[in-house]
């Protein structure tokens, strides 16, 4: 088995594991999966930017913005009120930072967006209903 086929096989296993996790998840766990996926995607975007891989940067940027949009659309302003509004502002700011194009400062902006989201992810994990 070649190295490339091992990577492809591992990638398929990871994909199946994520799909299984999502299929069995409750709404709380789905949001946790989105935060995890967003963090991983932002990490890949930063790595791609450091390598100068523009194609991957655009791919990961699009995925990150899509996840942020999903998180934002899931906010219930009637139930969560001020908290939902605060999260909306944070998600909007994170999206702005991810969209910046200046190469040198882009990495710093994406890192700051990742940190903003990571803080929310930690809080979400801390209030886990199964903890």
> Mind listing the pLDDT tens digit for each residue in 2-61?
655 555 555 555 555 555 555 566 878 888 999 999 999 999 999 999 998 989 999 999
Backbone angles phi, psi at 50, to 5 degrees: -65, -30
Overall domain count for the chain: 1
Domain containing residue 74:
26-126
Report yes or no on 21 lying in a domain: no
pTM of the model: 0.78
Q: Looking at residue 95, which CATH number applies to its domain?
A: 1.20.120.340
Report yes or no on 32 lying in a domain: yes
Report pLDDT for 28: 83
As a whole number, mean pLDDT of residues 67-83 equals 92
Decide if pLDDT at 98 tops 90: yes
- pLDDT > 90 in the chain, percent: 59
Cα 15 to Cα 8, 50, 88, 101, distances in angstroms: 10, 25, 29, 30
C-alpha 78/C-alpha 119 separation (Å) is 24
């Amino acid at each position: 088995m070649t190295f490339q086929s091992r990577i492809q096989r591992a990638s398929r296993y990871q994909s199946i594991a994520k799909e299984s996790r999502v299929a069995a998840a409750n709404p709380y766990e789905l949001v946790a999966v989105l935060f995890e996926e967003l963090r991983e995607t932002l990490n890949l975007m930063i790595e791609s930017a450091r390598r100068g891989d523009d194609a991957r940067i655009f791919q990961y940027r699009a995925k990150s913005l899509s996840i942020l949009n999903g998180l934002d659309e899931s906010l219930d302003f009637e139930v969560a009120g001020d908290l939902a509004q605060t999260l909306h502002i944070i998600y909007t700011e994170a999206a702005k930072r991810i969209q910046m194009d200046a190469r040198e400062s882009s990495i710093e902006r994406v890192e700051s967006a990742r940190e903003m989201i990571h803080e929310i992810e930690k809080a979400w994990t801390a209030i886990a209903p199964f903890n």
